[in-house]
Structure 1
Amino acid sequence: MKFSAIDLFSGAGGVSEALKKHFDIKCAVEFDEIIASTYALNHGSDHLLVKDIRKVKKKKWNKIKNKLNGENLDLLVATPPCQGFSRHSRKKSVTNADDRNKLIMQVVRVAKIFQPNYILFENVDNIINFKIFHVFLSLLSNLCPKGYKRDLNRPSYHLRFEVVDAVNFGVPQHRKRMILIGKKINEFPNTDAIIKESVKGIPYVTNPLPLWPKPEKAPTLGKHLEKYNLSKLDAGGVDEKDKLHRCRNLSPDNLVRIRATPHNGGSRSEWREDRLVLECHKKKNVNFGDVYGRMNFNDYAPTITCGCLAYTKGRFGHPLEDRAISMREAALIQTFPLYYKFTGKKGGKAYEGSSENIATQIGNAVPVKLAESFVDLIYNQLINEFQKSPFPEQLVGVSKE
């Protein structure tokens, strides 16, 4: 039994990887042609829409809607670009006019068309400080103070949103993300689902949706990676049997630096030779202390970013070997399966093209295990609802295998 789903801003397909076990993906939307090529390598292209979501007309959405045979969509997933909401954004939250931030409103637009039974939304933790996100919540809730619909043409949702660390959901890295689950409201009034605002201006739900997965602590980095038995590499090396298991070369100076860095969590603060320290790092109150550091097999990885291949951009040194982590290691830390393919060029074959493009896809992805925790929860809810329905064959857009 599979339910129906749509994956907006699908990226390299991390969420679709979590979805495909229980859901029939009716459509995935990705704007970037190179990233879409990676998606197609792993999930096919028949349901993939490579287009700016803002330019997808209602006529096209209705054509996709026809695949549901008159039923509502079961699950709408959206993981819009997060860069404009990041804490590293140079613009203040209140005045940030990054055009990408407006993309979250496309979720409201698509929800109006498909009336999904559930919504799953993911972004950076800092999004909660942005006014546009507050508006987004109000539009999804679509409730007046008495618990009735504000706009009769749009669905209303009982929401729950929290900031989570992926390490508590089976992912061996510290990665804070804001996750939102929404369940369609079918009976009114519903005063539990009203969106309010705290004294500090932070939005909250009167009584959040009582639906959330149980935490599952991830294994340490070493335990997670040991089962894959990856080959050892030198700096700049590549595994001939797995082309994604390749790492950047290091300059002679950086090779000296990493050799001077203690194994399993060592950092530049432990270098004994002052000449190894960059002048900019000798100044007081310098941040980015993880730069030139090693990961620790006995702990969890730091957040995998788009710069995860660079020893100079974070704690991306291998715990034991004198090199930065490989692309395969980065993908495995993001909990992509070992067989997952990436390409760095438009229409490219597996592992072709730019390593930088592949690193960006890996760093921006939703960790598969994190997505699975929430996707599986929603699937089980749909199964329970299906079984309790007096006319299960009429419930939602279910297909049987």
Structure 2
Amino acid sequence: MKFSAIDLFSGAGGVSEALKKHFDIKCAVEFDKIIASTYALNHGSDHLLVKDIRKVKKKKWNRIKSKLNGDNLDLLVATPPCQGFSRHSRKKSVTNADDRNKLIMQVIRVAKILQPNYILFENVDNIVNFKIFHIFLTLLANLDSDGHKKHRDRPSYHLRFEVVDAVNYGVPQHRKRMILIGEKINEFPNTDAIIKESVKGQPYVTNPLPLWPKTEKAPTLRKHLEPHNLSKLEAGGVDEKDKLHRCRNLSPDNLIRIRATPRNGGSRSDWKEEQLTLECHKKSNVSFGDVYGRMNFDNYAPTITCGCLAYTKGRFGHPEEDRAISMREAALIQTFPMHYKFTGKVDGNAHEGSSENIATQIGNAVPVRLAQSFVDLIFNQLLNVAQIEFFSEQLVAATQA
């Protein structure tokens, strides 16, 4: 049995990869044409809208709604751009006016039209410190202080949101993300779902939704990658049988640096020759200690970012080979399956085009296994309700016979 879903801000399709096991994806929305090309390579383009979500009119959403045969949408997924909420944003204020931050309000707009039974939302952990997110929660809950619906034309949701580390959901990397689940409220009043604010100004739900997947510790990087038997590469190399398994070249100086870095977890602090250290890194208050570091096969990867192909941008050195990790390794650490295709140009074929574009898609993606944990949970909830309704109908029919 498949339920209906919509994937907003779909990116390269990591969440859709998790969704398609149990859900019929009615629509996916992605603004960037190159990223949308990757999505289409893997999930088709019939249901894909390559458009600024703010310009998708109510008329279009109503047409999609009409295909649900009178039912509400089962699941609305939203993974809006996170850069404006990031701790690394140049705009440090939690009240900054980055236009991308306003995109989360599109979830409210679409939910009003489609009235989904569940909402799944993902973003960076730092979003909880932003006033606009507090407003977002209040609008999603849509309850007054007595637990009654505040605006009759909008759905109300019982929410639960937490900051999680993807490593606890089967993903072999430390990646902290804020995940929110919302379940539509059908009976009022509901005083458990009221959004309040702590004395420190942090939002919370009176009694959070009692729905969350069990944790599952990820395998180490070695155990995760070994079954794929990836070929060894030199810096700048490419596997002719797997075009995604290619890595950046290293300058002569950086080649010396990585050779001086101990295998499996070594960092620039291990260099014995002082001249290898950049002047800017010699200051005592310099952060980003992972720069020029190696991953550790017997541990977990750091957060895979858009700069994951660059040895100079984080702990993205290969654990044992003298090179940065490849695009294939980055995609596997993000738990994309081996068959997944990426393209770096509009309407490009698999693994063609700009490596930087592909790295951005991989780094921005929701890890597939992380998404799968939450998608499976919501599917099982929907299935339980459907089964209860089915047996209730059968019982009524038998009673009337």
Using the size of structure 1 for normalisation, the TM-score is 0.97
Residues 343 and 285 of structure 1, relative CA distance in 2, 3 Å threshold: same
Q: What SS does structure 1 have at the residue aligned with 2:67? A: helix
Residues 97 and 382 of structure 1, relative CA distance in 2, 3 Å threshold: same
**1:6 aligned partner, one-letter code:** I
Using the size of structure 2 for normalisation, the TM-score is 0.97
User: What value does the CA root-mean-square deviation take over the aligned residues?
Assistant: 1.1
Correspondence for 2:355: 355
Q: What SS does structure 2 have at the residue aligned with 1:243? A: strand
1:387 aligns with 2:387: yes
Correspondence for 1:17: 17
Distance in 2 (CA, whole Å) between partners of 1:23 and 1:98 is 33
Matches within 5 A, 1:369-384: 369-384=369-384
Q: What is the CA-CA distance between 1:391 and the residue it aligns to?
A: 7.0
Q: What is the CA-CA distance between 1:91 and the residue it aligns to?
A: 1.8
Distance in 2 (CA, whole Å) between partners of 1:95 and 1:4 is 35
Q: What SS does structure 1 have at the residue aligned with 2:90? A: coil
Matches within 5 A, 1:79-158: 79-158=79-158
Residues 94 and 249 of structure 1, relative CA distance in 2, 3 Å threshold: closer
- Is this contact kept in 2: 1:247–1:325, CA < 8 A? yes
Work out the percentage of aligned pairs sharing the same amino acid: 86
Residue deviations 1:104-161, cap 9 Å, x none? 0000000000000000000000000000000000000000000000000000000000
Residue deviations 1:161-198, cap 9 Å, x none? 00000000000000000000000000000000000000
Correspondence for 1:398: none
Correspondence for 1:337: 337
Residue deviations 1:31-51, cap 9 Å, x none? 000000000000000000000
Correspondence for 1:270: 270
Distance in 1 (CA, whole Å) between partners of 2:95 and 2:126 is 14
**2:316 aligned partner, one-letter code:** F
Q: What is the CA-CA distance between 1:393 and the residue it aligns to?
A: 8.5
Q: What is the CA-CA distance between 1:284 and the residue it aligns to?
A: 1.4
**1:385 aligned partner, one-letter code:** V
Distance in 1 (CA, whole Å) between partners of 2:171 and 2:94 is 32
- Is this contact kept in 1: 2:143–2:156, CA < 8 A? yes
Distance in 1 (CA, whole Å) between partners of 2:392 and 2:248 is 54
1:38 aligns with 2:38: yes
Correspondence for 2:77: 77
Consecutive unaligned residues of structure 2, counting only runs of 5 or more, are: 395-401
- Is this contact kept in 2: 1:93–1:129, CA < 8 A? no
Correspondence for 1:171: 171
Q: What SS does structure 2 have at the residue aligned with 1:162? A: strand
Q: What SS does structure 2 have at the residue aligned with 1:336? A: coil
Correspondence for 1:316: 316
Correspondence for 1:306: 306
Matches within 5 A, 1:142-221: 142-221=142-221
Distance in 2 (CA, whole Å) between partners of 1:228 and 1:90 is 39
- Is this contact kept in 2: 1:245–1:329, CA < 8 A? yes
Q: What is the CA-CA distance between 1:392 and the residue it aligns to?
A: 7.6
Consecutive unaligned residues of structure 1, counting only runs of 5 or more, are: 395-401
Query: Where has structure 1 moved over 6 Å in runs of 4 or more?
Result: 391-394
Correspondence for 1:63: 63
With a CA cutoff of 8 Å and minimum separation of 6, indicate the structure with the bigger relative contact order: 1
Q: What SS does structure 2 have at the residue aligned with 1:347? A: coil
Q: What SS does structure 1 have at the residue aligned with 2:160? A: strand
Residue deviations 1:329-362, cap 9 Å, x none? 0000000001100000011010111000000000
Correspondence for 1:397: none
Distance in 1 (CA, whole Å) between partners of 2:179 and 2:6 is 17
**2:81 aligned partner, one-letter code:** P
Distance in 2 (CA, whole Å) between partners of 1:211 and 1:13 is 25
**2:192 aligned partner, one-letter code:** D
Distance in 1 (CA, whole Å) between partners of 2:26 and 2:391 is 24
- Is this contact kept in 2: 1:166–1:370, CA < 8 A? yes
**2:317 aligned partner, one-letter code:** G
Q: What is the CA-CA distance between 1:204 and the residue it aligns to?
A: 0.2
Residues 79 and 98 of structure 1, relative CA distance in 2, 3 Å threshold: same
**1:231 aligned partner, one-letter code:** S
Q: What is the CA-CA distance between 1:275 and the residue it aligns to?
A: 1.0
1:8 aligns with 2:8: yes
Q: What is the CA-CA distance between 1:67 and the residue it aligns to?
A: 1.0
Residue deviations 1:219-255, cap 9 Å, x none? 0011100010000000000000100000000001100
Of stretches 60-69 and 78-87 in structure 1, the one that deviates more from structure 2 is 60-69
Q: What is the CA-CA distance between 1:94 and the residue it aligns to?
A: 3.5
Distance in 2 (CA, whole Å) between partners of 1:160 and 1:89 is 26
Distance in 2 (CA, whole Å) between partners of 1:393 and 1:267 is 64
Distance in 2 (CA, whole Å) between partners of 1:388 and 1:230 is 47
**1:172 aligned partner, one-letter code:** P
Distance in 1 (CA, whole Å) between partners of 2:341 and 2:77 is 22
Residue deviations 1:367-395, cap 9 Å, x none? 0000000000000000000011157889x
**2:253 aligned partner, one-letter code:** D
- Is this contact kept in 1: 2:95–2:132, CA < 8 A? no
Of stretches 277-286 and 18-27 in structure 1, the one that deviates more from structure 2 is 277-286
**2:78 aligned partner, one-letter code:** A
Residue deviations 1:69-111, cap 9 Å, x none? 1110000000000000000112233430000000000000000
Distance in 2 (CA, whole Å) between partners of 1:93 and 1:117 is 34
